[in-house]
Amino acid sequence: MSKQVTVIIDGHKINAPEGEKLLWVALENGIFIPNLCAIKEKKHPSGSCRLCYVQVEGRSKPVTSCTLPVKEGLAVQTRSPQVDRLVKSAFELLLSNHRLDCRNCPKRKGCALLQIARERGLKMKLSRLEPLEQEVAVDESLKTFAFDRSLCVLCGRCVWICREVAKVGALGFTHRGISRRVSTFQDLSLAESPCTECGLCVEACPSGALYFKR
Ligand code: SF4
Ligand code: SF4
Ligand code: FES
């Protein structure tokens, strides 16, 4: 069993296993930190969504909590002017690549983006960035679920789950920069891919990009 340490989050003293990432310690103790790309079982977090910043006592710059191992005496604040600025920018960047159509979204009840916006008082619209063009057809080739890439926020959860848990590897990232996207090998439809329709990726998707057909 790992050694227990005491950390302080927003002034609350919390016991946690040494080395656990701060994000999970906070969430498991009812303290909200925005996050999209983190998966607890993933040994090496990608730290790609840049939403989980916290301010660490003694450090000038905020750090991502999904990559921050806890140790005795670690003290953090989940909010600071710097943290709020970084989270706001990262959130707007995500939205710029996400077709905003909450009313018709299949995940509107469990959407992680809406939850983050609510918790942090962020707007579900762009103020400084222009939306990126999202003219992509929905992949409805499977019986049980569909993939609407225009709602994908590139968190990578589906890619990891499909490879590491389902042990299939039907999904992956392709292209670079602003063209980066989740796709099947050679951009085939899901029905032509090795996908077994286990549905694990759909359950892991925090947006409406992967959704069960009803
Ligand atoms: S449903 Fe298909 S794509 Fe999704 S995790 Fe399972 S095998 Fe992979
Ligand atoms: S499809 Fe969903 S789980 Fe996969 S990268 Fe996009 S938002 Fe994340
Ligand atoms: S949850 Fe930490 S960077 Fe995405």
Q: What is the pLDDT of residues 153-207, one digit of tens each?
A: 999 999 999 999 999 999 999 988 888 899 999 999 999 999 999 999 999 999 9
For ligand 2, say whether the CB of 94 is within 6 Å of any of its atoms: no
| Residue 165 pLDDT | 97
pLDDT < 50 regions, the chain: none
The pLDDT value recorded for residue 1 is 66
Cα 88 to ligand 1 centroid, rounded to whole Å: 32
Query: Is residue 83 within 6 Å of ligand 2 at its C-beta?
Result: no
Residues lining ligand 1, Cβ inside 6 A: 161-162, 166, 168, 170-171, 195-201
| Å from CA of 208 to ligand 2 middle | 8
202 burial via Cβ count (<10 Å: 0-12, 13-18, 19+)? buried
Q: How confident is the prediction for the chain on average, in pLDDT?
A: 94
3-state secondary structure of 18: coil
Cα angle, residue 70 at apex, residues 68 and 72 outer, rounded to 5° = 145
Strands 53-56 vs 63-64: parallel, antiparallel or unpaired: antiparallel
For ligand 2, say whether the CB of 156 is within 6 Å of any of its atoms. Answer: yes
Spell out the domains of the chain, with CATH numbers in brackets. 4-80 (3.10.20.740), 97-212 (3.30.70.20)
Report how far residue 214's alpha carbon sits from residue 203's, in angstroms, rounded to the nearest whole number: 14
Is the dihedral angle over the CA atoms 153, 113, 126, 101 positive or is it negative?
A: positive
Q: What is the pLDDT of residue 101?
A: 87
pLDDT of amino acid 54: 98
